[in-house]
Chains A and B, each alone.
Chain A
Amino acid sequence: MSLIACSHCHLEFDESLMINEPENKNLHFCCNGCQGVYHLLKDDGLDSFYEKVGKNKLAKPLAVGSDSSNFDMESFTTRYIKKTDEGFSRVDLIIEGIHCAACIWLNEKVLDQTAGIVEVNINFTNNKAKIIWDEDVIKLSQIIDKIRSIGYNAYPYDRTESEKKATKNKKDFFLRMSIAIFASMNIMMIDVAKYTGYFTGIDDEMLRIIHMAEFIFATPVLFYSGWIFFRGAYYGLKNKIINMDFLVSFGATLSYIYSLYVLFGGAGDSYFDSVAMIITFVLVGKYLEVLGKKSAVDTMDKIKSQIPLEATIIKNGGKKVVSLDEIKVDDIIEVKTGEKASVDGEVVSGFSSFDESSISGESLPVSKTTGDKIYSGTINTQAVIRYKAVKNYANSTLNNIVELLEDSLNSKPKIEDTTNEISKYFSIIILTLSLATFIAWYLYVGGFENSLIVAISVIIIACPCALALATPIASLIGISWLSQEGLLFKEAKFLETFAKIDAIVFDKTGTLTTGKLTVKKVPLSLTKKELNILYSLADSSTHPVSVAIKNYLEECFENLDIITLEEIEQLPSMGLQARYNNNVIFGGRLENNVEYQTTIYHFTINDKLLATFELEDKLREDAKSTVEYFKKQNIKTILCSGDNEQAVSSVAKEVGVDHYNAKMSPIAKADYIQSLKDSKKSVVMVGDGINDSLALSRANISIAMGNGADISIAISDIVILNDKLEGIKKSHYISQRTFKFIKQNLMISTVYNVLTIPIAMAGYIIPLVAALSMSLSSLLVVGNSLRIKNRKIDE
């Protein structure tokens, strides 16, 4: 068995499974989708796409069955299409399937080559696209078809005020940060000359030129880039709080004023470099926070784009497509296969299965027949069904979840930040000491100017450089170590919160278990013919149980053949029935066998039971050891699932969690997390499905498994890329170790200040000492942080 890469998506598959082309033996495709896209690109002269992709692996082309004509409907046009000043149409879309820069290039290129398209701009970071086109030349549905033809898909989204504000804010911060970095880098280069001059000798005129250049670069940093600190300090003082912003702006302004005094006549050394450095360092940290906020807005747009736009209601014997807001209680709604239910209701006619994974997290479709409840957001997977609306859209499950999610994303739990806490006291102590120094010097030594300079030097020497570096350097090393282990921390500050957690809540399906049904080994006494019949019956359905049976047979037996079965029929709540040579074949669950608690599959021919399979969702190999690790650390372990009591309790018992909750809706999970937080516990939630997203957004720290739903990954703070539960254990260990070093660094910078501040207060700080001691304190912090990775995880 040898693996070869698909010529389009570059994913590797067994050679025997590939589609080969007789004309070109070098081409191998894993599916028809890849083959189609490859030839389409080649025919359109876009094959340079493959050069741009390089060795990157792409996602398989998305097979989208739904009709694109709804993009031309009036309800869609009014909601999503805007007119530009020039009379063109504009729509904002989220493109699905974007994988690398080449995907962006390809989409933009294909659309640019399409007649009637005026502007296309796809954002790589959030996959949002802005498309402007001339409606007289091309319709939006044709544009969507074009995107789909190359293996991607597009959803519309409403560009909200919050997104515009977040984008503007991000741009503003980016500009301020760029100017600060630009000026600081120039100042650093000039500093090389200045500090070399201290050792080799430098004349006053030369020093003045250097100070002048530093002054020119430091001024925009303080007043333009640093403006946000002045603003923060002002609002802090207004609320009677001395915050980090106050310390930064006050320290930087004083250093700036003192340096101006030195530049225009006074003796001594200027500290324009310190001014620029402090502002730049802290600003970079703030920019990362702004990016985090922007990504929360993008996540919400992705979630909202999944909401169905309209529903088909049955009125006066005819069908009418209405927008969701127009649906009233008691309206009869029709849902076709593949469509999402728009509001909550009760089935009035038809039989079908619904994928309720967005509510329960369980991958097995749930059978629905007259009288059964339908939840909005669940997907009809089998046949057309009609149901009566019992709630309007605003009160339905899906809208409730979206609204709650929006609220919790906008008010993410406060992250503990030891540095901020310390800096509050630090600021007060330094300011008091400086004032005391000024008074003491003025009273006992005399001279206003002299006293002021000594007082300012106390603040300058206490420059929070080491303090500001203590956390970021250690975090950077911790984060890079984590990423090497396949653990993605979206922000550095999650390290501290994760290191201090009290409780960890696991989801069941897909998190503690693999989420895939497998057949328990059973002795089979079927003839070759019967095996082929069973194999063919299982092959005729995409239901997870049938797929598991098919996989099991392929695993255990060789040379299975597909036989043509007739009259294949889905039986409500049971399974599949078919006919073969006048024999009635059945595969599924027989109604009278209700004593089984796990998923059971019976195989009968003419009502004679030939085989019984028991299917189970296996525990992950490392589930037990991960739970044990957290228990050893005195962290409460909890299992929360939407599955039934029996299934949840058996998994809970097997992995040994402290507590479990079954049959939990997404809202109940989120409320449970909230109740834990209300009892002063710092909570981590680990999940994978859409049903976990609300609970994930409420937790202090949320962890998603790498193969989970896009939404849960987008919401989570930590993503376990390699999809192994062990990753959570490793993340916790590295977080704890990094946090330990952050505390050590804070201690080092405090000791430094305790030693140098008295010297400054005594008036003994000369420029050389100041420069050396500042660098030394920063070097100590950096050097200490490098020790984080010295110990291996296994130790």
Chain B
Amino acid sequence: MNSILWIELVVGIIVSFTLLGIFIWGVKQGQFDDGKKMMNGLLNDSTEDLQDAVKKDEKVKDLREKKREKLQKKD
């Protein structure tokens, strides 16, 4: 009985510290810098917003590539 509890303790602590690790990563990334925005994040949680996010990523990727090419040409 007690050995099961020891195992549960170890597993529980590993899981909770992993979650904590993810949270720390989020904080360091700046995801929690803006308290008010974070609390309202749910508003931007639609499929449409996700699609926009993908489009935006593609746009930025494109801009970065063009800029790199331009800088390389200059060199």
Contacts and interface: CB of A to CB of B under 8 A. Distances in A.
Interface string B33-49: 11111001001101010
Contact of B37 (A104, A112, A170, A213): A104
Contacts of B44: 52, 105
Interface string B9-37: 10011001000100110011010111111
Dominant SS among interface residues on chain B: helix
Given A88-B67, A134-B67, A101 B60 contact: no
B27 A101 contact: no
A216 B36 CA distance: 32
B63 interface: yes
Contacts of A101: 36-37, 40, 43
A206 B5 contact: yes
Contacts of B20: 179, 182
Interface stretch (A2-10, A19-27, A119-127, A144-152): A119-127
A175 B59 CA distance: 33
Contacts of A175: 24, 27-28
A48 B51 CA distance: 14
Contacts of A171: 27-28, 30, 33
A483 interface: no
A86 B36 contact: no
Given A88-B67, A104-B37, A213 B9 contact: yes
B46 A123 contact: no
B15 to A, nearest CB: 11
Interface in A73-123: 86-88, 100-102, 104-105, 109, 112-113, 115-116, 118-119, 122-123
Contacts of B60: 118-119
Contacts of B46: 48
Contact of B70 (A105, A136, A178, A213): A136
B40 A124 contact: yes
Contacts of B6: 209
Nearest to B8: A209
B34 A123 contact: yes
Interface in A469-516: none
B25 to A, nearest CB: 11
A87 B67 contact: yes
Contact of B36 (A125, A137, A182, A212): A125
A209 B34 contact: no
Contacts of A122: 37
Nearest to A209: B5
A167 B34 CA distance: 10
B32 A212 contact: no
B52 A109 contact: yes
B23 A178 contact: yes
Contact of B9 (A52, A87, A119, A209): A209
A87 B2 CA distance: 61
Contacts of A67: none
A174 B32 contact: yes
A186 interface: yes
Interface residues of B, number: 35
Contacts, number: 82
A205 interface: yes
Nearest to B60: A118
A128 to B, nearest CB: 9
Residue with the greatest number of chain A CB neighbours at <10 A, chosen from B44, B46, B48, B52: B44
A216 B34 contact: no
Nearest to A137: B63
Contact of B67 (A86, A100, A206): A86
A639 to B, nearest CB: 37
A542 B23 CA distance: 55
Contacts of B9: 209, 212-213
Nearest to A88: B67
Interface string A133-145: 0101100000000
Interface string B51-75: 0100010011001101110110000
Contacts of B43: 52, 101-102, 105
Contact of A87 (B12, B34, B71): B71
B56 A112 contact: yes
B27 A174 contact: yes
Contacts of A213: 9, 12-13
Contacts of B48: 48
Contacts of B23: 178, 182
Interface in A184-202: 186
B27 A124 contact: no
Residue with the greatest number of chain B CB neighbours at <10 A, chosen from A112, A116, A167: A112
B34 A125 contact: yes
A86 B32 CA distance: 25
Contacts of A178: 23, 27
A84 to B, nearest CB: 10
A131 to B, nearest CB: 13
A115 B66 CA distance: 13
A116 B5 contact: no
A244 to B, nearest CB: 26
Nearest to A52: B43
A137 B66 CA distance: 11
Interface string A26-55: 000000000000000000000010001000
Contacts of A113: 52
Contacts of B59: 112, 115
16 contacts: A48-B48, A87-B70, A104-B40, A124-B34, A124-B36, A124-B37, A125-B37, A170-B33, A171-B28, A171-B30, A178-B23, A182-B23, A206-B5, A209-B2, A209-B6, A213-B9
Given A88-B63, A175-B27, A182-B20, 15 more contacts: A52-B43, A87-B71, A101-B43, A105-B43, A112-B59, A115-B59, A116-B63, A134-B63, A136-B67, A171-B28, A171-B33, A175-B24, A209-B5, A209-B9, A216-B13
Interface of A: 48, 52, 86-88, 100-102, 104-105, 109, 112-113, 115-116, 118-119, 122-125, 134, 136-137, 167, 170-171, 174-175, 178-179, 182, 186, 205-206, 209, 212-213, 216
Interface of B: 2, 5-6, 9, 12-13, 16, 20, 23-24, 27-28, 30, 32-37, 40, 43-44, 46, 48, 52, 56, 59-60, 63-64, 66-68, 70-71
State the 9 A-B residue pairs at the shortest beta-carbon distance, nearest first: A101-B40, A124-B36, A124-B37, A123-B34, A125-B36, A52-B43, A112-B56, A205-B2, A175-B27
